Chains A and B, each alone.
Chain A
Amino acid sequence: MIHSLFLINYTGDIFLEKHWKSVINRSVCDYFFEAKEKALEPENVPPILQTPHHYLINIYRGKLFFLAVIQTEVPPLFVIEFLHKVADTLQDYFGDCSEGVIKDNLVTVYEILEEMLDNGFPLATESNVLQEMIRPPTILRSVVNTLTGGSNVGDTLPTGQLSNIPWRRAGVKYTNNEAYFDVIEEIDAILDKSGSTVFAEIQGVIEACVRLTGMPDLTLSFMNPRLLDDVSFHPCVRFKRWESERVLSFIPPDGNFTLMTYHVSSQNLVAIPVYVKQNISFMETGSCGRLDITIGPKQTMGKTVEGLLVTIHMPKAVLSANLTATQGNYTYDLATKVLVWDVGKLNPQKLPNLRGSLSVQSGAPKPEENPSLNIDMKIQQLAISGLKVNRLDMYGEKYKPFKGVKYLTRAGKFQVRT
C-alpha cells in the first residue's frame, strides 16, 4: 500500500522521510516539484500524480505537503484519508502541525509514523491508542523524565487495541469528570448580486471534549432530530440506536473528538444572518474604480454577529485601494491582491461601511470581472438551524459528571457574487 512518506515544506524542502517498505530515493519527489512549479498556487497541485514507476498522492495541510508514494493499485481516498489522519494526529500531539513543531519532535513523529503503518497498511490510527504507546510530550513529563530517567514510550500493549472499542483506553481516571459538547454550525451560501440566495445550506458538527472516569456509556438526545438530514458518525456511535430511536448512544473516546457531522436538509429555508450591499465598479476610462460596501443584520435571531470579516480577491490590475471604513480597519495586500476588511462586531444601529476608490494600473484594460466577497462571521449561543440538545445521560458509572453544551454559528463558505 503506502510505501513512503515525505514531508515537504512550502518552499520545497523535504524535511522528513519515512519508508515502510524498501527505501525509495527522494528523487521521486522531483515529479512533484515539477507539478508544483506548474501549478502556481499550492492548492492547485494535482493530488495524484503518475510517474513512470510510482504514484504520488499528496495533500496540502497547514503550508506543508504530505506526499505518499505508492506502487500498486490502492483506493486514492484511502491514502488521502490516511495522510489527513497523520496530520490530525500530529496536531493532536503537538497542538500544531507545522514544520517547526515537527522538526522539534522529529523522533517522536518518526515513532508515531512507525506505529501508524505497518508494511504500508494502517495499524494504529486512533489517537487514544497511539497516545498510550507513545506519550505526547508535555513540559511536566519531560522534566520528570530527565529527573527519573523515565521514558516516553509505553511498555504495555495498548488496551484499546485489543478490545471492541479501540478508540478508548482503559483505566481512565479524572478527579473532575466533565463532558462538553460544542454544536457548531456553518452556513455555506452563495448570494448573487442582488442579494438573493443562489444556494445555501447548513453543515453542522458536534465537537466533544469528554473527560470521564472509567467506561461511561453516554446517550445524547435532541429536541428536534428530524432536522438532521444527513449524518456521519464517529465509529463509537451505535448506528442501530440512531436508526431506531434517533439518539446518539456511545462510549466516548477520551479527550477531544468529533462526535458527528450533519447536514440540515436544504428544504428548510436557511436563515442568512447578514445582508451585504455592495457596489464595485471600474471606470471605462481613467485608471480607477469605486468600491462601496455596507453590511447589515438580517436574520440573526436576536443575537449579535461577531468577528465579521470581509475578504475580497481583487483583479490583478488593481494597484492600491484608498478607502475609509466607518468601523474596523482594512488592509490591502499588494502581492496577493487581497483586500481584507476586519469589521468586528456588527452594530445594528450604525451599519459598518467601507467606501473609497481603487486605483488601477494605467493602460491596463478595465477588469471585466467583479471580485466576489467572502464573508466570515460568528454568532455565539445560536445554532442557526434551531437544533437543540435535549439531554445527556450517562450509564455504566456511578459518579455525576459535569455536563455542558455550547452552540456556535459561523460562516462557512459564504460568498457574495458581485
Chain B
Amino acid sequence: MEASKLPGFLLRRMVKAAIVVLAIVVCNFLLVHAAPGDPASVIAGQSGVADAVFLEQLRRQFGLDQPLYVQLWIYLKSVLSLDLGFSHRQQAPVAQLVLERLPATLLLTGAAFAFALAAGVTLGALAAQRVGRWADSVITVVALTFYATPLFWVGLMLVLVFSVWLEWLPSFGMSSVGVEMQGLEVVWDVAQHLLLPALTLGLFYLAVYARLTRATMLEVADQDFVKTARAKGVPEGRILRAHVLRNALLPVITFAGIQAGQLLGGSILVETVFAWPGIGRLAFEALLARDYPVLLGVFFCTSVMVVLFNLLTDLLYAVIDPRVEVAG
C-alpha cells in the first residue's frame, strides 16, 4: 500500500477494533446475566454462601434493581475506565491481578509464537519443496502428530521425560525458588523454565503453520506467475524465495492473526501444567475458586490482546500486500 493511504487505513482498523472491544464488554455483561441465579452472587464470586448484606450492597453498586440497559451503561462505564471489578476472594482489584500476571503470559506466548512460526514456516517450506519425497513424509507425519495431540498432555509428557526421568529441566514455575541470582543468571534461569512450556504451547501451532505453509506453497507453485518466472530463466532457489514463499506467506499471516486468540487460550492449559505464573494460571485458580470477576477479567484482557494483535497483523499485511485497500 502507498504510504499516504496508511493513516486512513489505520484509523479505520482502529475504529473496527474499538467496536470489537465494546462488543466484548457487552458479551461479558450478558454472560453475567445469563448465569443461572442471582447476578450479584456471580459478581461476588461465591456460590450461594454470601451474606445478604454484602449482596445487597453489590446490587446497589451495579444498579441491579434498575432496568437492564442502565446496568449495561454502568458496567460499560466502569470497564472503560479500566475498572474490571473486584475479586472478593483475593481481596484485590481484578485489573491489578491481571496486569501483574500479564508479562509472564506475554513472555510465554510470545516465545511459543515466535518458535512456532519460524519452525513451522521453515518445515512447511521444506516439505513443499521436497513434495512426495521422504523428507516431506516425515515432516507431514510429525506435523500431523503434534496437530492431533492434546496440548496439556504434551506438556505432561515433556515433564515426565525431561524433568522426572532425565532431570534436565525444571518442571514448574518461572524461576528457581530460594536461590540468590543476578544479571544473566536470572535470564538463564528463566530461559530454562521457559523452554518446556514454550515448546509445549509452540508444538501444536508449529504443526498448524507447517501444514498451512506446505499447502499454500504447493498451491502458489502451480500459479501462472511462477511459470512466468521459470520462463524468464530465474533459478529455482530464487523462484522459491522471491515468488512462491512470499505469496504463500500471506495466508499464513492471516491465519496467525486469527490464531492469536487460540494461543492465549492454550496458555491456560500450559500454565496450569507448568505452574507458570501468568494469567492462564490465574484463570485456573479463579476457576477452582469460582471467582467469576477474575475469569471475566481474564476473558476481557485476552480478547483485548487478540484485538491488538490483529491490528498489528492487519498493518503487516497492508505493508506486504499492495492490493489490501482494493480488496477492502
Q: A and B: real partners? A: no
Query: Which A residues are within 8 Å of any B CB, using their own CB?
Result: none
